[in-house]
Structure 1
């Protein structure tokens, strides 16, 4: 579906992509990882047809630079930094839907599944929304259409735990029929979402590995956490995950399966007071 063949890209005298080769097929859910300056963003921009480059980039046999309109119809893109758009949310969704011949009502449905009140937000300028609201709108535009390629740059960074769970469910609905390219600085943030890891360094692919695909994207873990003593900092941290407790010692809540590593990372900060952790998959 996607092919990079000896792709090179330079900015003035700095060579950012140095003969990159890569083949991506339908069903691949890829974690694109690497430090700042590794070439991840430049690779994505070439794929989107925003940059000219040496070598060959193809999306379903099409050149994304020369046939950009046709290629972009196949791509749903969630950027890391929301664009500073002043148009109202309703107008933005209508405009985005018109560009890819999509139904704006489907985008609105996704927004509402993510917890947004569209009627309340539709007249508000996009630039005036909170970070989480902007992220949800951008996800709605990308997933509320028949995109065969999803390019997601730190897509869940500004989402609350419940919205992250819904986001993972949305990805699960598309996992067998689309390519997912999820860019992140940290592998542990996206490890449970993917079945392939590609690491870039200094403009080339230094690792391309298949990973175990055991965690269902729409799985839910019923969780019980016990601590040795009540702790204010711990309570604040775990309440952010919508956990509840009657005594401050025993906490109950639900974790999206793909968020397992992220959640355990939070708990690790309080290892000294942890007494018991129990997680059970509730997916039927």
Structure 2
């Protein structure tokens, strides 16, 4: 589906990409990881046809620069930093839908599933939305088309736990016939979403490995946490995950999305001295 052949890119005599050779097939879910400056974003921009470069990039056999309109019609892209668009939300949805020949209602429906009240913000400028609202709308635009390739840069960074559950469900609905590239500087943020890890450093691929693929994107994990005493900071943190507590406030129960388990463990770890017992099992 995606081919990179000896890709090299230089900015002002600085070599940013240095001989990248990769093939990514349909149905693969790839974590593209590496520190800032490793070359991840530049590689994605080459894939989107935004940069000239040495070597060849192909998506379904097509050069993304020579066949830009056709190729972009196959791609759903969620950037890490939302663009500073002053376009009203309703106009942005209609414009995005027209570019790929999809029904704007599909974008509306996905945004609503993510918890975004689209009707109330149709006339608001995109740039004036909150970070979470922008992220939900960009995800809805990317997933609201019949894309063969999904490219996402830190896609769940600004989503609340409930919205992330829905996001993982949306990915699960597409995982059999879509190639996904999820860029992140932290593997623990995306490890449960992917079946392949590609790590970059200094413009080169330093790791390309298959990983265990036994976590369902739509799976749920039932959790029960017993704490030693009530703590306001913990209460605020656990309530963000939609957990409910017992009458005495010492037992908390709820469900998390399977791919969110590492993020959840990270939250609980901050209060580990407070935790008396914790149990987790697939729901």
Runs of at least 5 residues in structure 2 that lack an aligned partner in the other structure: none
TM-score (norm 1): 0.98
Structural RMSD (CA): 0.8
Structure 2-normalised TM-score? 0.98
CA contact (8 A) 1:225 1:276 kept: yes
Counterpart check, 1:277 vs 2:272: no
Q: Contact 1:31–1:198 at 8 Å: present in 2 too?
A: yes
Runs of 4+ that moved beyond 3 A: none
**Counterpart Cα distance in 1 of 2:172 and 2:248:** 36
Aligned equivalent of 2:135:
135
| 1:270 Cα deviation from its structure 2 partner | 1.3
2-structure distance, mates of 1:45, 1:26: 20
Spell out the pairing of 1:147-166 with structure 2 (5 A cutoff).
147-166=147-166
Deviation at 1:88, TM superposition (A): 0.9
Alignment of 1:110-259 (within 5 A): 110-245=110-245, 246-259=247-260
Conservation of the 8 A alpha-carbon contact between 1:97 and 1:103: yes
Equivalent in the alignment of 2:35: 35
Partners in 2 of 1:247 and 1:106 — Cα distance?
A: 45
1:260 aligned counterpart, secondary structure = helix
Map Cα deviations across residues 108-127 of structure 1 (whole Å, 9 max, x no partner). Answer: 11001001111111111111
Instruction: Give deviations 1:227-283, integer Å, cap 9, x for gaps.
Output: 11212221121112122223221111110110001100111111112111112222x
Shift of 1:136: 0.4
The secondary structure found in structure 1 opposite 2:70 is: helix
Question: 2:101 — aligned with what?
Answer: 101
Are positions 1:90 and 2:96 aligned together?
no
Separation of aligned partners in 1, 2:235 and 2:155: 26
How many pairs align? 282
Secondary structure of 2:188's counterpart equals helix
SS at match of 2:132: helix
